[in-house]
Amino acid sequence: MRIEKDEIVIRTAERSDASQLAVWWNDGAVMAHAGFPYGLHTTEEKVIAGMWEGRCMIEYDGTLIGECCYRDHGYHTAEIGIKICDTDDQNRGIGRKVLIILIDWLFQNDFELIVLDTDVNNTRARHVYESLGFRLIRINENSWRDQTGAYLSSVDYQLKECDFRPYPFESEQQKDH
């Protein structure tokens, strides 16, 4: 897969991306939101062994800034995830753009339902998901423990194409100037 829109590229991860993924996944600051404040303690070899077709890299203006993924759950359902790993590119609206591009591609490729989950306290991500039309399905109270042993709760969302509310990139670019 390779999708290009404006300055964003979403492409299938390659073996050569494994070293960058390992750096990000071992960084507790990058992984804390996912319950891994000490990182994953992984290796490039383990990353390569765990790669699958839906693991993708995010490039912005020619530079790797993060990753996203999708998995086919059958019944025309895809589960997605996204992580902007470069802190300089966080909180700039790039993640929202990547989501719009990825979701649009999935709907164009015969997926009818998109699901995801996030930490209940990840209010920034939850706001983005809900603004795009995702519907809250359930809150899973104290459903798992992070690396420190603390209980965390998660939120399950789903999106149907008829509920998808992308907004035009042009209006975003105008706001930036």
Other beta carbons within 10 angstroms of residue 22's beta carbon come to 20
Q: What is the model's pLDDT at position 171?
A: 39
pLDDT of residue 174: 40
Rounded Cα distance, 125 and 65, in Å = 17
Domain boundaries, the chain: 2-176
pLDDT in tens for each of the 177 residues of the chain? 999 999 999 999 999 999 999 999 999 999 998 889 999 999 999 999 998 889 999 999 999 999 999 999 999 999 999 999 998 898 899 999 999 999 999 999 999 999 999 999 999 999 999 999 999 999 999 999 999 999 999 999 999 999 999 986 543 444 443
Backbone angles phi, psi at 40, to 5 degrees: -95, -10
Looking at domain 2-176, its CATH architecture is 3-Layer(aba) Sandwich (3.40)
How many other C-beta atoms lie within 10 A of the C-beta of residue 97?
A: 20
pTM (predicted TM-score): 0.91
Residues 126/129/130/131 CA torsion (nearest 10 deg): 120
